[in-house]
Amino acid sequence: MSTRNQLRSAKRIVVKVGTSTLTHPSGGMNLHRIEHLVRELIDEANQGKDILLVSSGAIAAGMNALGLAERPASVPARQALAAIGQGALLHIYEKFFHEYGRTMAQVLLTKENAARHHQYMNSRNALLALLGMNVIPVINENDAVAVDEIKIGDNDNLSAVVAALVDADVLIILSDIDGVYTANPRTDLSARLISEIPEITPEIESIAGGAGSAQGTGGMQTKIEAAKIAQNAGVTMVITRGDEDGIVRSILRGEKVGTLFPAREAHLRTRKSWLAFGQRLMGEVSVDAGCVSAMRGGASLLAVGVTDVYGEFSEGDTIRVLSPDGQEIARGIAAYDAADIARLMGHQTADFHALVADAAHEEIIHRDNMVLMV
């Protein structure tokens, strides 16, 4: 059975809708689109499916409420608009959910809820409890209080973290573009839509551009990052346009819509999911080809295979592991800080105490604290 056809049996679905889909070009809220999306999600839920909605649009709703034409540059001003707009946006959602006979719940998250393991588990349990009550969670980042240190930063990545959090089958990202193209379709008429991306290679990552619309924060780059999270969490992801009525239904009926990122076969255990996607990435190390092969075979990351260190991170921080061509192959918890790894790299374990006096670990990242990303 093709991956598209497998979507017909999806039980738990996360849908992320971007600001550009929820608003008119004028900045006003697109009530027609919001109502049709809510009706479609409820119709899927009425068939026994678990539905979670990750919704952008709080700042845009705040701008609309105050009659502002341009998004303010200062963080406090954006946070104030988010506080105003979140209530206005949820009022619109609540009205439409109520009209179609389904209860919704507002859930606001920050990176801190994912970075701390007990909060990660509490967030997971709360969302699963809501689904058990036949409630549709409407989720957004808590922009009104989040600062850079605890911000996820965009709802594409938030939706992927949520999908991993609840063991979703499918993540659907509704945007203002049909999917991933071979080039920017707005500037290159020869650009072609890519129907399926089985693996996110450096070439695919290079296709991603910068920020998208004037009102939103995410471009294709954040969607590719979200796809990486989804695939490695065992979640199939689809990116497509959100301005077409019935689009969610079409995807879940296996129609060839947008760009599909098929899930890797095995779901990560909950702790591995938290390890890979809940934590803030603080740095990177590059490794040689032999190390890549050993890690894919189940080995820990040893210093002898490390070729370079990037960033300033501490012992216990989560870092990325890059192959010789720059592809992310793993994430994990560093057993040493960046300075110590720079001293240890290329050396055998027997040399550690001569290089770092209090060296206590044989590995740079133990395999139990590492998640392969390819």
Residues tagged in the binding site annotation: 16, 56, 143, 155, 175-176, 217-223
Distance in angstroms (rounded) separating the CA atoms of residues 342 and 284: 11
Run of H or E including 228: helix 220-232
Beta carbons of 17 and 37 less than 8 angstroms apart = yes
Binding site per annotation, positions for ATP: 16, 175-176, 217-223
Phi-psi region of 137 (alpha: psi -120 to 50; beta: other; left: phi over 0): beta
- Residue 67 CB contacts under 8 Å (≥ 6 apart), including other chains: none
How many Cβ atoms are within 10 Å of 280's Cβ, its own excluded? 14
* Feature table: binding site for substrate: 56, 143, 155
Q: Which residue type does 186 have?
A: R
DSSP state of 314: -
Neighbours of 156 (CB within 10 A): 32
- Torsion region of 243: left, alpha or beta (phi above 0 gives left; psi -120 to 50 gives alpha): alpha
Is there a contact between 22 and 29 (Cβ–Cβ < 8 Å)?
A: yes
Q: How far apart, in whole angstroms, are the C-alpha atoms of residue 265 and residue 148?
A: 34
